[in-house]
Amino acid sequence: SWYIGCLYCEKSLWMMSSFEESKSVLLKSGFRMPLVGFGTYKLGTIPSSSTTVSSTPPPDTFTVVTNALHFGYRMFDCAEFYNNEASVGDAIQAYRPTIPRSELFLISKCWTSTIHAGAESIVNQVNTTLSDLKTDYIDLYLIHWPVPACHTTAFHTLAKLQKQGKIRSIGVSNYTIEDIMELESTLDESTPPICVNQIEINPFLYRKLTLDYCVSKGIHCQAYRALRDGKALHHETIQRIALKYNVSNSVVLLKWCLQNGISVVVKSADSNRMKQNVDGLWNVFELDEYEMKELDQLTTHEALEAFTETYKKCVVRDTPLSGSSVRAAFTQN
């Protein structure tokens, strides 16, 4: 099998002990990944093709990442699209004397334009990320969106880079069940496994069928936008549960993810919230079965429709492809 023949098998076994077992998940590659990570989107810069615009300047990347390290975050979610990996790397390097590389988990992603451009562009981008993050390897590298007719080639390009030691685990992001099935049809026992599917998932966008499919295939689901948006935090159900357990509203949403076996990427420039999110999650409390079901039912048809429209736009964004190249039907939830 791929794992037995993996060049990094011995390193994998050693790496398993680098993260506390109860606060990490074992990926199909043999490496452990922390359950809670810090997101770097819109730090220092807002991408030109971002779908959201802010009138306030973005927070300073170096300062925010340094604070996140101080409060105990060890996994950082980066991406080519975020256009700030060099600043993230500067902050981590400045902090590195107190943290060995084995205690950090760095994630990056190649953007749609690079995926569409092909293998050479992907290789160049991975090398750029390695240089910017000032590291010899990336713990987890993701395909940011399943660009039609291009994403399977991208995965196989990343597989070659993994064999060179530049990447330890390979995953995908924003993949539907149909996208995963398409990719799986091109894999065999000699190919590295799909380790992670990073998707937007939370009580207000509970994509249960996608989650269940990934679990059945041994693919770990990781949530971005686990807190949905500011309005979600003030939902009556969230507030009531938070009051019961004496935790913040955001911790309730994050706890829902963890109890569903989903790791989370959280983002905040506010130091108090940073600490609150990472500390509150490990408080000794569990949402009961009734509360989990209550939260499961917050997803609306409108939310699933909005996800569908976002998916259709983003899989071809910043590429010459048109909407007609996007698959006509796919699983929403």
* Among 41, 73, 82, 311, the one annotated catalytic: 82
User: Would you say the C-alpha torsion 160, 163, 165, 168 has a positive or negative sign?
Assistant: positive
CA-closest candidate to residue 118, choices 157, 159, 144, 83: 157
Radius of gyration of the chain (CA): 19
The shares of helix, strand and coil residues in the chain, as percent rounded to the nearest 5, are: 45, 15, 40
Least Cα distance to 95 among 67, 128, 135, 61 occurs for 67
Instruction: Tell me if 269 sits within 8 A of 56, measured CB to CB.
Output: no
Annotated binding residues for substrate: 144
Confirm whether 82 is a catalytic residue.
Answer: yes
Residue recorded with tokens 């690079």? 114
Cα–Cα distances (Å) from 170 to 92, 138, 141, 197, in that order, read: 22, 10, 5, 10
Residues pairing with 172 in the sheet:
143, 197
With CA atoms as reference, report the closest residue to 300 among 206, 165, 170, 217: 206
The 8-class DSSP code of residue 175 comes to -
Give the three-state DSSP class for 254: helix
Q: Which tokens hold the place of 17?
A: 């002990």
State the number of CA atoms in the 13 A half-sphere of 2 facing the CB.
17
**The CA-based dihedral angle spanning residues 148, 304, 77, 23, taken in that order and rounded to the nearest 10 degrees:** -130
Assign 65 to helix, strand or coil: helix
Say if residue 51 is exposed, middle or buried (CB neighbours under 10 Å; 0-12, 13-18, 19+): exposed
Q: Which active-site residues does the annotation give?
A: 82
